[in-house]
């Protein structure tokens, strides 16, 4: 007797069989609820940008002084699969892509250490390189577009900034990006005559502004079982704050407003967003893109973010500013997961009815129990191994439904054939029927999995 036959014989009258069945359905149900749902799978493909700047250099000089040396260094990093580079006026961008499965933090550390080891070889005038890692979780799961009200893009950007600050308090958010509009900046225009009259240099102005625009820790104190951190200083938030900065002492304090004009003005836009409906003209808009942390349920994050927007919009946004959800991977992931469960139910019921009509309802009951139990255990293993329900795992489950149903039909039909012989009891027919086709069925399934 083969493995399949011995297993069937062991569990045929075992008291553990109903307990295992009920437990499998229970843990499978919990796994469906607890397993994170997202659009994209958790595939680790580290990508790291190395941005280097050398002011005043032409693209040809940048290529020779920065791009080629950095490319050569990156190819020496273990695990690198591709290196892409671009050289422009005064700067270069080198993108490093690692092999699938490489650890993101380890890859970033390798690039950082490699660039640090060659810091003494940097050309004169080059600024320290900026190393910026990217991963699949940087793809936003939610996009909210603000538009309407005949507001300018800078005003919409300011509103979006306040709304983004509100969203930033939600746990498990990785990053929030604003796309479109002009961010507000402080523009300082120095007056050469007043600078000369005060005996102040532009370098002193820059140094004073940098020193004033910081917040430093000053210690801590404990009270009522709580520890409070104390900081000194505050970032510059307005033109008045900047104008009140003391930049030098020449027989008295010299304020920035004495030697320069400080105004709040929109910065130069780097990207543009337009909202348009069918049959209508477009209008200026700003989009808030929200990305989550790895392994977090995209459905829960999207739901929490939309609830927070509903709560805050009356406080932060005018009534004539609309917020449209232009991307919601949490909703689509949930819809696809629910659709899969519905198809699983339809497939199980369809097979049960067909077997009941052609073989008998007792045989159909076996399939009705076996298919959900097997899928429940599969979903529990998904959850235990840290997988998520995404478009790849959903496709795998849909593909496996056919194999599972085929196997169940083959085994049940063979047991039915043994019963029809009339010379053996139902117990013997069940064991012999499973033993006859169980091992080939298992091997065929493993063959499909291996392929």
Question: 223 lies in a domain?
Answer: no
Question: 319 lies in a domain?
Answer: yes
Tell me, yes or no, whether 277 and 377 share the same domain. no
Is the pLDDT at 75 greater than 90? The verdict is yes
Query: And the tokens for 142?
Result: 């939610």
Last residue of a domain, one of 310, 329, 348: 329
Tell me, yes or no, whether 126 and 77 share the same domain. yes
Tell me, yes or no, whether 169 and 120 share the same domain. no
Please give the residue that has the higher pLDDT: either 97 or 1.
97
Tell me, yes or no, whether 266 and 206 share the same domain. yes
> Which CATH number covers residue 282?
3.30.70.1320
**Tens digits of per-residue pLDDT, 387-434?**
888 778 877 887 787 787 788 888 888 888 888 887 778 888 888 888
What per-residue confidence (pLDDT) applies to 233? Answer: 65
Alpha-carbon separation of residue 321 from 24, 148, 288, 324 (angstroms): 50, 5, 14, 10
What per-residue confidence (pLDDT) applies to 232? Answer: 67
Tell me, yes or no, whether 192 and 321 share the same domain. yes
Is residue 46 within 8 Å of residue 107, measured between CB atoms?
A: yes
Helix (H) or strand (E) holding 207: helix 202-212
Tell me, yes or no, whether 269 and 146 share the same domain. yes
Angle (nearest 5°) at CA 290 between 287 and 292: 170
What per-residue confidence (pLDDT) applies to 352? Answer: 83
Helix (H) or strand (E) holding 448: helix 426-450
Question: 334 lies in a domain?
Answer: no
Question: 93 lies in a domain?
Answer: yes
Tell me, yes or no, whether 296 and 200 share the same domain. yes
Is residue 291 within 8 Å of residue 174, measured between CB atoms?
A: yes
What per-residue confidence (pLDDT) applies to 406? Answer: 80
Is the pLDDT at 154 greater than 90? The verdict is no
Tell me, yes or no, whether 130 and 151 share the same domain. no
Tell me, yes or no, whether 184 and 114 share the same domain. no
Number of folded domains that form the chain: 3
**Tens digits of per-residue pLDDT, 286-334?**
899 998 887 788 888 889 999 999 988 888 888 888 888 888 888 888 8
Is the pLDDT at 265 greater than 90? The verdict is no
Question: 191 lies in a domain?
Answer: yes
Tell me, yes or no, whether 258 and 396 share the same domain. no
Structural domain harbouring 85? 47-134
pTM of the complete model: 0.66
Last residue of a domain, one of 134, 152, 186: 134
Question: 71 lies in a domain?
Answer: yes
Alpha-carbon separation of residue 186 from 155, 234, 236, 261, 280 (angstroms): 15, 16, 9, 10, 36
Last residue of a domain, one of 309, 329, 349: 329
Tell me, yes or no, whether 166 and 313 share the same domain. yes
Q: How far is it, in rounded angstroms, from Cα 346 to Cα 350?
A: 6
What per-residue confidence (pLDDT) applies to 397? Answer: 80
| Beta pairing partners, 82 | 97
What per-residue confidence (pLDDT) applies to 426? Answer: 81
Tell me, yes or no, whether 128 and 167 share the same domain. no
């Amino acid at each position: 007797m083969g493995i399949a036959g011995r297993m069937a014989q062991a569990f045929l009258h075992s008291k553990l069989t109903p307990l295992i069945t009920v437990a499998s359905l229970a843990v499978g149900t919990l796994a469906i609820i607890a397993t994170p749902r997202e659009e994209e799978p958790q595939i680790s493909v580290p990508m790291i940008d190395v941005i280097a700047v050398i002011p005043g250099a032409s693209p040809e000089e940048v290529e020779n002084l920065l791009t080629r040396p950095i490319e050569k260094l990156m190819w020496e990093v273990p695990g690198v699969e591709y290196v892409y580079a671009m050289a422009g006026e005064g700067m270069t961008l080198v993108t490093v892509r690692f092999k699938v499965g490489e650890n993101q933090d380890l890859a970033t550390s390798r690039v950082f250490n490699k660039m640090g080891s060659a810091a003494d070889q940097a050309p004169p005038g080059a600024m320290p390189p900026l190393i910026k890692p990217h991963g699949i979780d940087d793809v936003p799961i939610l996009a909210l577009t603000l538009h309407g009200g005949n507001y300018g893009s800078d005003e919409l950007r300011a509103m979006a900034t306040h709304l983004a600050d509100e969203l930033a308090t939600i746990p498990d958010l990785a990053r929030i990006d604003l796309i479109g509009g002009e961010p507000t900046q402080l523009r300082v225009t120095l007056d050469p005559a007043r600078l000369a009259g005060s005996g102040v240099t532009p370098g002193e102005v820059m140094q004073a502004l940098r020193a004033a625009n910081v917040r430093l820790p000053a210690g801590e104190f404990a009270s009522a079982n709580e520890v409070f951190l104390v900081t000194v200083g505050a970032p510059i938030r307005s033109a008045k704050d900047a104008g009140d900065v003391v930049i030098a002492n020449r027989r008295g304090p010299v304020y920035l407003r004495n030697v320069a004009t400080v105004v709040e003005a929109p910065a130069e836009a780097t990207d543009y967003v337009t909202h348009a409906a069918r049959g209508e003209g477009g209008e200026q808009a700003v989009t808030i893109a929200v990305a989550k942390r790895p392994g977090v349920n995209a459905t829960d994050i999207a739901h929490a973010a939309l609830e927070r927007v509903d709560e805050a919009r009356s406080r932060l946004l005018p009534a004539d500013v609309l917020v449209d959800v232009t991307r919601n991977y949490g909703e689509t992931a949930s819809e696809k997961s629910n659709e899969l469960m519905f198809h699983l139910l339809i497939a199980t019921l369809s097979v049960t009815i067909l077997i009941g009509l052609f073989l008998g309802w007792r045989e159909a009951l076996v399939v009705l129990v076996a298919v959900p139990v097997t899928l429940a255990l599969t979903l529990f293993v998904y959850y235990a191994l840290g997988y998520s329900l995404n478009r790849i795992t959903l496709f795998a489950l849909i593909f496996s439904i056919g194999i599972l149903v085929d196997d169940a039909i083959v085994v049940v039909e063979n047991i039915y054939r043994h019963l029809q012989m009339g010379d053996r009891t139902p117990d013997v027919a069940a064991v012999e029927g499973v033993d006859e086709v169980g091992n080939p069925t298992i091997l065929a399934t493993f063959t499909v999995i291996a392929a």
